[in-house]
Amino acid sequence: MTNAESRTVLRILDANANRAGEGLRTLEESARFILNDLSLTERLKTHRHDLAVAMRRWNRFQLIGSRDTPGDVGTGVRTASEQSRADLSSVIAAATTRTQQALRCLEEYGKTADSEFAACIESIRYQCYATFRELELKMAGLNARSRKLVEARLYALIACEPNADCLKARIAELVDAGVDVIQLRDSSVDDRTLFEQAKLGAAIAAEREVLWIINDRADIAVASGADGVHVGQEEVPVDAVREVVGPEHLIGLSTHSIEQVRLATRTTANYIGCGPTFPGKTKSFDRFPGCEFLAQVSDAERSGELTLPAFAIGGIGLGNIEQVAQSGIGRVAVTGALAPHDGLHQTAMGMREILEQVPLRITPDSSDVCPLPND
């Protein structure tokens, strides 16, 4: 190559090394702060380190000396899609594409002067393909679940059924009645029974496109393929649960005061249950925060202090759901009101009709879909 050609190759290598490194750093931050995934974070950091090591085969001062940003005609080229990102997933998609393209450029132009360098870059590129695939799939799974969650209005809690056919029928009647989320909660059965019903329920819920949550048991939630787990204030802390279920599963947390709501926003919880609102038949409580608490939660949503979907819970039925709606909460979780009975469909539809009069402040359009703890 002529000196001019060599200088051009150096410019291309310098530009694409910067582009690849920036892309890998963007993806590393996504794995670290969005997915809270240690394994992916470490792998992306390793790719970035390997790239830096490979670039040491070139004289850094020659690379920098070849750089001519003011004279680069490409710096002024812009497309509309470059100037905005619809959501966090689009940030990741752009970064993976940019990084892969930059690595390919490094490999191809590197072949003109250093075949060993090109081979190193090729190896990094193939490793990145596998890592990027896992990153994007995890993000897609989290987004799909989170999107369903923030659009949900009606959440039903059910117990295990005597057999598979009964469970199928129970889920079907709830979904047909307009339920968006179903939680399996039953402390009276053995682990094997709970697991088998959780696994069957997860498959049915996925087919019917509703969310399937397991109460308390993070291990069974993961093993059964459920969408998430719900825990209370006295159970394992949310961040410890996150270590078990990983970044792609949803975690719900019960709250009984506005202070607990504020603390929930500092965890990796995806949603909160707020109550108990009224006395119910399934659990006994010493006190009921009631609609006053719900109004505080609504105010926190309005101010932006709360960015997690909040479901009112506790003794809620068709006879008192209007009070919940008047407090500003448009999502509820219920047990007794949706127990099997002849009027279940009418009850559920009546509750939805009232809830849908309350605008949802936390929606797919108003959030990043993937909630992050507030520092």
Answer whether 211's CB lies under 8 Å from 185's CB.
no
SS3 for 100? helix
| Rounded distance between C-alpha atoms, residue 225 and residue 223, angstroms | 6
| Rounded distance between C-alpha atoms, residue 165 and residue 160, angstroms | 12
Which residues partner with 181 through β-bridges? 155, 211
Q: Is 283 annotated as a binding residue?
A: yes
Q: Is 228 annotated as a binding residue?
A: no
Rounded to 5°, the CA angle 139-140-143 comes to 85
Residues contacting residue 176 through CB under 8 Å, at least 6 positions apart? 345
- Write the CA distances from 272 to 123, 179, 251, integer angstroms: 44, 17, 9
Give how far the C-alpha of residue 212 lies from the chain's centroid of Cα atoms, to the nearest Å.
15
Q: Is 216 annotated as a binding residue?
A: yes
Give how far the C-alpha of residue 76 lies from the chain's centroid of Cα atoms, to the nearest Å.
36
Q: Which two tokens stand for residue 151?
A: 């659009």
Answer whether 155's CB lies under 8 Å from 332's CB.
yes
Give how far the C-alpha of residue 155 lies from the chain's centroid of Cα atoms, to the nearest Å.
19
Q: Is 215 annotated as a binding residue?
A: yes
Residues contributing to the annotated binding site? 215-216, 235, 254, 283, 315
Residues contributing to the annotated binding site for Mg(2+)? 216, 235
